[in-house]
């Protein structure tokens, strides 16, 4: 009886989320559900494509059973609106620390220490090493770009692969790209340096709901090459990145190769990406959640400008919801 929350906020539609949702209903407590990844896309990466309709039905039940649904992008909000859930759907954007992720962390001395020449082009994979994040496609892109560069320039030595992240696919990727630099999970200054010291960010994942890693690469001054999905389109424009259709290896390779061959294009896109990242800050993102809470409870709303302390407090605790 001592546990009487005002709101139950659920961040995942797994069995613990469903159990918490049921408990909240029993207690008469309103439920907020936030969408962080496209779980329905996972099945195809584990030989279970036939169960996707079942997964989609489960997700529909989960979100329909919530009083407020927080989604990261307008295209996803439109999807929920088309299902008749528009009135309970609200945007919850994301932010990036532009001091932590910045071009000023680019470190040529570190690159040389890692065996990367100043003239090498570093393709960055940044994320969990699991099948659904696309490490297999990343490896195919690296191989094909190298082959094309060798044919056009007479050498394949200029294309390097750097991987930031860890997970069950690390051993497979180490065998698939034996000369790749696998840095594992990084944080703080080491993460900032590794990201900013790359040349092109490649995001082959189709499961992103927002694409935090893309935003962090943008803030670090990198041009991005991403799968053409709503999360990528929400962040990138033609002056900050390039897109390729899902599973279209030729298009992905053409985009990466173009950036690899033209340094002025990389520079202009990187600068534009850095500038575009300024539109995303955590105080505003946190205020969006706080406003959703107040709207659900029928209390006064709080904006980042009206009460920066409250928004900052929520920002410091944002990981609890994700």
- Of the two residues 20 and 153, the one the predictor is more confident about is 20
Q: Summarize pLDDT for 20-30 with one digit per residue, the tens.
A: 999 999 999 99
CB burial readout 107-128, b (16+ within 10 A) else e: beeebeebebeeeebbbbbbbb
Q: In what order do the strands lie in the sheet with 121-126?
A: 181-184, 159-164, 121-126, 200-203, 224-227, 241-244
Residue written as tokens 């409870």? 297
Q: Which residue has the higher pLDDT, 310 or 8?
A: 8
Give the pLDDT confidence score for residue 40 in this predicted structure: 62
Q: Find the range with the poorest average confidence among 34-48, 154-168, 299-313.
A: 299-313
**DSSP letters spanning 63-86:** HHT-SEEEESSHHHHHHHHHTT-G
The pLDDT mean for the chain works out to 87
Tell me: the pLDDT tens digits for 218-265?
A: 999 999 999 998 888 888 899 999 999 988 999 999 999 999 999 999
Residues 123-150 pLDDT 10s: 999 999 998 899 999 999 999 999 876 5
Confidence (pLDDT) at 304: 44
The structure tokens listed for 147 are 């082959």
Q: What ranges do the domains of the chain cover?
A: 8-96+280-321, 103-279
pLDDT for 101: 97
Does 31 have pLDDT greater than 90?
yes
- For residue 306, what pLDDT is reported? 38
Quick one: 103-279 is in which CATH superfamily?
A: Glycogen Phosphorylase B; (3.40.50.2000)
Q: What percent of the chain has pLDDT over 90?
A: 67
pTM over 0.85: no
**Phi and psi dihedrals of 99, rounded to 5?**
-85, -40
Do the strands 241-244 and 224-227 form a parallel or antiparallel pair, or are they unpaired?
A: parallel
Other Cβ atoms within 10 Å of 314 Cβ, number: 22
How would residue 45 be classed by pLDDT, with cut points 50, 70 and 90? low
Residue 67 has pLDDT above 50, yes or no: yes
């Amino acid at each position: 009886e001592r546990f009487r929350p005002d709101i139950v906020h659920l961040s995942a539609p797994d069995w613990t989320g469903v159990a918490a949702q049921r408990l909240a209903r029993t207690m008469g407590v309103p439920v907020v559900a936030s969408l962080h990844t496209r779980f329905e896309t996972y099945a195809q990466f584990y030989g279970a494509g036939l169960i996707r309709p079942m997964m989609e039905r489960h997700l529909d039940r989960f979100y329909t059973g919530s009083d407020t649904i927080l989604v990261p992008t307008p295209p996803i909000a439109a999807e929920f609106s088309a299902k008749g859930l528009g009135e309970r759907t609200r945007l919850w954007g994301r932010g990036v620390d532009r001091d932590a992720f910045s071009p000023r962390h680019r470190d040529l001395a570190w690159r040389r220490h890692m065996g990367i020449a100043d003239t090498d082009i570093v393709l960055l994979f940044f994320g969990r090493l699991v099948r659904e994040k696309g490490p297999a496609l990343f490896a195919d892109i690296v191989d094909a770009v190298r082959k094309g560069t060798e044919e056009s320039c007479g050498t394949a030595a200029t294309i390097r692969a750097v991987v930031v992240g860890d997970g069950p696919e690390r051993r497979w990727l180490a065998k698939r790209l034996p000369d790749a630099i696998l840095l594992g999970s990084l944080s703080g200054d080491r993460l900032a340096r590794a990201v900013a010291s790359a040349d092109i960010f490649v995001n082959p994942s189709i499961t992103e709901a927002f694409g935090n890693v893309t935003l962090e690469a943008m803030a670090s001054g990198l041009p991005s090459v991403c799968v053409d999905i709503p999360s990528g389109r929400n962040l990138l424009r033609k002056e900050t990145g390039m897109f390729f259709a899902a599973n279209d290896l030729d298009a992905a390779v053409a985009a990466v190769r173009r950036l690899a061959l033209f340094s002025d294009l990389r520079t202009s896109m990187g600068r534009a990406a850095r500038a575009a990242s300024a539109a995303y800050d955590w105080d505003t993102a946190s205020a969006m959640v706080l406003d959703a809470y107040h709207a659900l409870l029928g209390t006064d709303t709080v904006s980042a400008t009206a009460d920066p302390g409250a928004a900052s407090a929520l920002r410091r605790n944002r990981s609890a919801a994700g």
